Structure 1
Amino acid sequence: MSTETGTLPYRHVLTLPTEPSAVRMARETAEQALVEWGIGLRHPTVDPALLILSELVTNSVRHAAVLSPTVTVVYAAGPDCLAFAVHDRHPYEPPLHAAVGDTGGRGLATVMELVLALGGTAVVRADADSRGKSIWITLPL
């Protein structure tokens, strides 16, 4: 699995208003990009990836909209890897690995359980000014 997302041959960036419709648009854009890139929607990684993406965009809409008028999704793929990031301008960096087994909101726990079950990785990357972050998900194909 490729670890450098910058070297993946396929890439698409989508910026949306941080509002509920962003979840649907991010998911539909992912489906369209995957088809264009030759990754079938029936591939076993796709449904969990779309669920993870939807949950991360939902979290930005619910928790970051007050400080982040937009949410940006970066999609990338290669022959053996699917990656995406959800970026907002809220400074809070959720502890992803602490979410495993968490019974609170369950969203990030579900994300991490899916990522780990698929053999993927998840990382939070702070913006250079520490006023925003991206959550990067990488999944093997």
Structure 2
Amino acid sequence: MTVRLETLPHRHVLTLPAVPAAVRMARETAELALVEWGIGLRHPAVDPALLILGELVTNSVRHAADRSPQLTVIYAAGRDCLAVAVHDRHPCRPPLYDAIGSGSGGLATVMEVTMGLGGSAVVRPDADGLGKSVWITLPL
């Protein structure tokens, strides 16, 4: 699934402290944004998207908080796709596609759900190499 994310008409950005409560805040904000954008919470892509979002935020809190006291969540949607991204300032870029089939950890879950729904995943490094964003795009 290839989508030019900058063309998606709906977008929301949320910056949170890299603490465990960020997971709940990110999920609740996603639900509010989706409803505002006319995407019902019973849409079949919503529960998987919330699961993926929770895992990505959890990973940032667990693995990046020492270098990145804040994380940023980006939500975007269009008529036929939903995208979420989690950005932190830790330089480690996880090998997303190596996680497929490993059966261990949140990243494996993220990738299995994403690929199972026909979505895509990419890690985009910051220009200075000191941070990254993990983008997940799912069809609606």
- Does residue 71 in structure 1 map to residue 102 in structure 2? no
1:101 Cα deviation from its structure 2 partner? 1.2
Distance 2:103 2:120 in 1: 21
Equivalence for 1:23: 23
Distance 2:14 2:2 in 1: 22
1:27 Cα deviation from its structure 2 partner? 0.2
Distance 1:77 1:2 in 2: 14
Distance 1:78 1:2 in 2: 13
Seq. identity, % = 74
Please tell me the residue identity of whatever aligns with 1:39: I
Structure 1: which 5+ residue stretches go unaligned? none
Deviations 1:36-72 (A, max 9, x none): 0000000000000000000000000000000001000
1:102 Cα deviation from its structure 2 partner? 1.3
- Does residue 114 in structure 1 map to residue 113 in structure 2? yes
Secondary structure of residue in 1 paired with 2:12: strand
Distance 1:103 1:52 in 2: 15
- Does residue 59 in structure 1 map to residue 53 in structure 2? no
Please tell me the residue identity of whatever aligns with 1:107: G
Moved over 4 A (4+): none
Compute the TM-score of the two structures, normalised by the length of structure 2. Answer: 0.98
Equivalence for 1:93: 93
Aligned residues: 140
Structure 2: which 5+ residue stretches go unaligned? none
Equivalence for 2:38: 38
Compute the TM-score of the two structures, normalised by the length of structure 1. Answer: 0.97
**Cα RMSD, aligned residues only:** 1.0
